[in-house]
A = this chain, B = another copy of it.
Amino acid sequence: MKYGLKKDELDQKNKHHFFLRVKKINIRAGSAYIILINQIDADRLGIMPGDELKLDWENKSIELYTDISSDLVKEGEFGLFLDIFDKFDIKENELLRLSFAKRAPSIKAIYKKLRGEVLNFNEVYQIIRDIVDRRLNELEITFFVAPSFNEKNIDFNEVYYMTKSVAMLGDTFDFGDMVADKHSTGGLPGNRVTPIIIPIVASYGICIPKTSSRSITSPAGTADTLETIMNVEFSSDEIREIVKKNNACMVWGGALKLAPADDIIIQITKELGIEPYSKMVVSVMAKKVAMGIKHLVIDIPVAKGAKISDIRTAKKIEKLFMFLARKFDIKTKVITSKSFGPIGRGIGPSLEMRDVMRVLQQKEDRPLDLENKAIKLAGYILEMTGVAKKGKGIEKAKINLKNGLAFQKMTDIINSQKGDRNVDSEDILVGKYSYGYVARKDGIVKAINNADIVELCSLLGAPQLKGSGIYLNKNVAEKYKEGDILFTMYSESETRLNLAKEALEKLDSIYM
């Protein structure tokens, strides 16, 4: 049977839209999308705490969660926190349209995924679109992400659909055919090879438009590190300009609308401090697809306490990378390398940047392990792109590092990215509170526990406090004597330095 509304009732159907005046509330609430409604309006309109409301303005719309307050907003007003004003172009005191939000259409697909079923392209695309449009909230996204932690739930085609959707639903670039990139799966402290590789490769005329992430679970991401001496946030058009000038850029991917779904999903996995490996692969490949990369070297560091700790897992990740590389037609080489401790001496944004500059400037106290790894990876790219003959890449990479052409390219990039091109490695400031740990007897460093180093750096305030971190006065395979400082903890906050000192008491296996 059928029934329906009568004509005059149909005309009233828009009655559940209502208008209130927006007020700026001086609270910074992180990623929460909150709207404050006055109790009187809430009662009048039937709004309850926790209700999702949709705010529309100038063809844009976002969904927000309702808090009720009679103090902070008056009748006829609604309040938004500073974060929302930072993020969106909303003018204070304007009268804006609100309505009750409807449940996101992709909830059904999320439930299907939770039940253990494989999603088709349309379902995956719908979910990713709703994530980007902020129609799914944090808990709903968590439900979507959770099954990926179980390997049994990973379907290669579904991962491909996801990569494609994430790449499609954001900005895309086209720098032509001779476009290379390098990626490290990360999780190994230090290991800041990117800012060494990019200038080497670009100095040979290869286009290498590098986008990097901020830290997820580590003491610093490449973007956090670079930011100590140059700007990393640029618009798509500015990046096209920088790449045109230098054959390269080194920017934060998050400032672009490059794979925006990925940035939102990362906020969720961050919570557990662990990322499912399929999500990591999606994250990497979606950005490469969006950037129009055609030649790719992927570095998978394997180390105890690092993100990937065994060769078996590394091989599975490699398999998934290669599957996607074939699907997207990207020439790809995966390098798996075992480590027994961090690479380089500095861990934390400023300390890592100092290491990088010491290598590029060929200073005497530069970390050679970092230099050698960067040269090796740069060499592979030079071979893949035909700049160097097979087996001659490392040699070629070394040339432009030694003769200063790579450093010159670096200063050009710094200059284009609004940094000081005359910056010297020793200009980079580290935290003013420090504490040196002293050896109680003579010995040799066999290995360094990466997980402990990461934990301490987090307590010290890295990566948010740029100068916080650890400097390894003694690295793996180095000898020390009783009384030598083994490593130095730096922090910009005295409270955090004390917190790290307390934690040290309970860690008795950092150096092995």
Contact = CB atoms under 8 A, between A and B. Distances in A.
Interface of A: 1-5, 9-10, 12-13, 15-16, 18, 26-30, 32, 34, 36, 44-46, 48-50, 65, 67-72, 100, 103, 107, 110-111, 114-116, 137-140, 142-143, 146-147, 149-153, 268, 271-274, 437-441, 443, 461, 464-465, 486, 491-496, 498-499, 501-502, 504-505, 508, 511-512
Nearest to A149: B114
Contacts of A137: 271
B495 A461 contact: no
Nearest to A491: B46
Question: Secondary structure of the A side of the interface?
Answer: mixed
A50 B115 CA distance: 32
A95 to B, nearest CB: 18
Given A5-B505, A13-B502, 11 more contacts: A1-B440, A2-B440, A10-B505, A12-B501, A26-B69, A28-B69, A110-B272, A111-B274, A115-B149, A139-B271, A142-B143
Contact of A498 (B16, B30, B111, B502): B16
A272 B140 contact: yes
Nearest to A496: B46
Contacts of A152: 116, 152
B272 A26 contact: no
List the number of copies, as a whole number: 2
A67 to B, nearest CB: 5
Contacts of A140: 271-272
Contacts of A67: 27-30
A70 B98 CA distance: 28
B150 A3 contact: no
Contacts of A149: 111, 114-116, 143
A151 B114 CA distance: 10
A146 B272 CA distance: 14
A147 B27 CA distance: 35
Contact of A146 (B1, B16, B114): B114
A60 to B, nearest CB: 23
**A-B complex: 10 closest residue pairs judged by Cβ atoms:** A46-B493, A146-B146, A26-B71, A114-B149, A116-B150, A142-B142, A15-B498, A13-B502, A46-B496, A139-B271
A273 B469 CA distance: 44
A3 B439 contact: yes
B45 A495 contact: yes
B27 A71 contact: yes
A1 to B, nearest CB: 5
Contacts of A499: 15-16, 100
A315 B13 CA distance: 43
Nearest to A137: B271
A470 to B, nearest CB: 14
A269 B50 CA distance: 15
Given A28-B69, A151-B116, A15 B495 contact: yes
Contacts of A115: 149-151
Contacts of A30: 49-50, 65, 67
Nearest to A83: B49
